[in-house]
Structure 1
Amino acid sequence: MARRPRLLPAVGTARNLVTAALEGILAEPAPRRGPGAPGEEATGPAPVRDLPLVLVACSGGPDSLALAAVAAHLAHIGRCRVGAVVVDHGLQPDSAATAEQAAAAARCLGLDPVEVHRVTVDGGRTGPEAAARSVRYAALDAAAARLGAAAVLLGHTLDDQAEQVLLGLARGSGTRSLAGMPARRGLYLRPLLELRRADTEAICAFYGLDPWHDPTNLDPAFARSRVRGEVLPFLEDRLGPGIAQALARTARILGQDADHLEQLSAEAYAALRIPGDDGAVLLPEDGLRGLPAALRQRVLALAALELGAFQPSFERLRAAEALLERQGSAGPVQLGGKVSVHRQVRGRAVLRGQASYGNLVLTSNGSNDGPGVMHSRREPQE
């Protein structure tokens, strides 16, 4: 009898990480037993159709293909069903063939169902990377909802997390951005954030898989490619090994801090928020002044986001905060996405029949022409 190959340590680690990430979703292992007493039926694992479905977002690259192979193990031992969704962005001439190869590899691993979704990427104002990400998640959302998936697994690794932190630092971002990618967000799970990219390549080799290598990963036109190919290796060379692990650890710490700050901010916003006329949101100035700056800026951002703004920049939030000093202009300050904020002046009510002085007023969609001037109806969007 041929000896089974010894299990690669990275494979065992990855299996444990995926199993831990899916805790609460996986079916309990049910060992097979023989027939019971006369008249009783034999018992065994739950029928396959009753097992929860887990989808792998698979591009055919080393990370997602390794994740598919490891997740397939859970299907083989009867803990869940595992399928795959391949999103073809159509950004490269051979993208359709690459997507079909990824789907074929997933089927060979035993994944079922396996679907290929072709999407159209329109860069618009956000750029091709952000636009591709947006349509990719839309396709994954739709597939998960239609198939009734309990979770969608993403193949991001520790190296991806380190790159994300460096990109956030370069942008001068806040805590949430520096926290990198969360291990869990809704249906989406990233179980391999503790593994290096070299580990996923070794896993592919162990399973005899031939992953696709995205040529854009080496294209210096993209900031992430420059971080991957130049910045991280330079830091490792000059500061010593372990930089990627340190950056990922920083992300994990900041993620906990960001979660706590966001919870406190949501509670403060709920306590301060006053609905105004014509869809405006009022925030009492005294209440805002009483908050620490970290919470005050987040509360202002929450109000802007509720009205449809993009995430306001730090500079825009500081300009909104300056209104509380009651020096100079009463606004408005533009927060992005057609949302503005101004300080309410005396004699200009924004709550019909009630005094409203002493509030910051946030409005959207051009429904305000300046401090204290409120329309009786919303202006149409452009």
Structure 2
Amino acid sequence: MLFPETPAVLRLRHAVRAWLGSYPNAEVAVALSGGADSLALTAAAVAEVGAVRAFVVDHRLQDGSAGVALEAVQRATALGCVSAETLTVHVDGVGGVEASARRARYEALDNARGNVPVLLGHTLDDQAETVLLGLARGSGARSIWGMRAYDAPWGRPLLTVDRSTTRQACADLGLTPHDDPHNQNADFTRVRLRLEVLPLLEDVLGGGVAQALARTAEQLRDDGAVLDDLADSLVARATVHEALNIEILAGEAPALRRRAIRAWLLRSGAKAVTEKHLRAIDELVVAWHGQGGVAVGGGRPGTRLVAARQHGKLTLSFAKAGSGELENQ
């Protein structure tokens, strides 16, 4: 298929080309929903990549979803994808429909992709929404890093391209995207951000809000990478038989110390470490007055993971659920 060289189509192709320049791949997969963003991405990927496979996830959350998926598969084939298939998933609703659908979708894509990266149609507007959601959580700079261009195996070539460009590209290509009713459902927080909050911010602040939020996220990711390296060095210096030396930790700046504690916890099997956890564990280091350990997410079935101060060291132990009995990690 020959693609017209309109400004919107060229913008998309340049974005995919730039992504490939940073992350070279002779073959990629595309997660195709049939919406404007993923449809435009699929077309641009076909034009720029040697071989493109398309995966269409059917969440079975709406009547007629199988037909929508079939139409997306047919469009992928017509655009020139070397293969296209539907992945049918079960959405169990645990943690809410949005979160459950996302888990099911990513698991299916990961299982189907083989060893090739999967390109996702996230745009500049999606990035702005993600940053705002992270800001609302108030859990530190990491929560407003936004999405990366590549978090293996997930690639996001369109993070610098806005939604209006993907829609224009589809029009230029003669493609009519599928409009998911969920994208207009104000029961979803992200939809309200998209339809109400961001347009209001653009109006009040005079435009350019999405771009500013994306730039902020990029700057914070760059800063965070440097701090993470420093934190890793601190963990290496402070580690004594899988525990952390209190004296070494206490001599560092609070932000670096807490970042090092976070890295140590995650490496030790902790899950979902919050700012509240970090500050409580940090007090074991610099404001200890005999308080007990701090339980964090993770551990093993029937146990919980507990950080405690013992003999000048920060240690991790497993505590049996419902008891105070500890066992060494």
Which of 110, 129, 136 matches 1:170? 136
Q: Aligned with 2:320: secondary structure?
A: coil
Please give the TM-score of this superposition, normalised by the length of structure 2: 0.91
Deviation at 1:98, TM superposition (A): 1.7
Partner of 1:360: 314
Structure 1 letter corresponding to 2:209: I
Provide Cα deviations, 1:14-39, integer angstroms capped at 9, x if missing partner: 11111121127658xxxxxxxxxxxx
**Which has a greater percent of strand?**
2
Partner of 1:299: 260
Q: How does 1:65-104 map to 2 (within 5 A)?
A: 65-74=39-48, 79-104=49-74
Whether the aligned pair in 1 keeps the contact of 2:319 and 2:327 (CA below 8 Å) is no
| Aligned mates of 1:177, 1:335 — CA distance in 2 | 18
| Aligned mates of 2:40, 2:133 — CA distance in 1 | 25
Deviation at 1:5, TM superposition (A): 8.7
Q: 1:122 to 1:307 in 2, by over 3 A?
A: farther
* 1:57 aligned onto 2:31: yes
Provide Cα deviations, 1:199-239, integer angstroms capped at 9, x if missing partner: 00001111111111121122111111110010001111111
Partner of 1:258: 224
Structure with larger Rg:
1
**Which has a greater percent of helix?**
2
Provide Cα deviations, 1:164-196, integer angstroms capped at 9, x if missing partner: 111111111322221100011123211111111
| Higher RCO (CA < 8 A, seq sep 6+) | 2
Indicate the larger mover: 115-124 or 61-70: 115-124
Q: Aligned with 2:308: secondary structure?
A: strand
Partner of 2:269: 308
| Aligned mates of 2:77, 2:3 — CA distance in 1 | 22
Structure 2 letter corresponding to 1:211: P
Structure 2 letter corresponding to 1:122: D
Q: Aligned with 1:334: secondary structure?
A: strand
Structure 2 letter corresponding to 1:375: E
Structure 2 letter corresponding to 1:144: R
| Aligned mates of 1:248, 1:317 — CA distance in 2 | 27
Please give the TM-score of this superposition, normalised by the length of structure 1: 0.79
Q: Aligned with 1:70: secondary structure?
A: helix
Partner of 2:248: 287
Q: 1:238 to 1:287 in 2, by over 3 A?
A: same
| Aligned mates of 1:301, 1:85 — CA distance in 2 | 36
Whether the aligned pair in 2 keeps the contact of 1:367 and 1:374 (CA below 8 Å) is no
Provide Cα deviations, 1:315-374, integer angstroms capped at 9, x if missing partner: 121111111235434311122232221111xxxxxxxxxxxx10111124639965xx64
Q: How does 1:222-237 map to 2 (within 5 A)?
A: 222-237=188-203
Number of residues of Structure 1 aligned to a counterpart in Structure 2? 323
Q: Aligned with 2:306: secondary structure?
A: strand
**Structure 2 unmatched ranges of 5 or more:** 299-303
Partner of 1:354: none
| Aligned mates of 2:37, 2:252 — CA distance in 1 | 43
Provide Cα deviations, 1:106-160, integer angstroms capped at 9, x if missing partner: 1111112112111112232x33222222222222222222xx42x2211111000
Partner of 2:5: 7
Whether the aligned pair in 2 keeps the contact of 1:100 and 1:116 (CA below 8 Å) is yes
Cα RMSD over matched residues?
A: 2.3
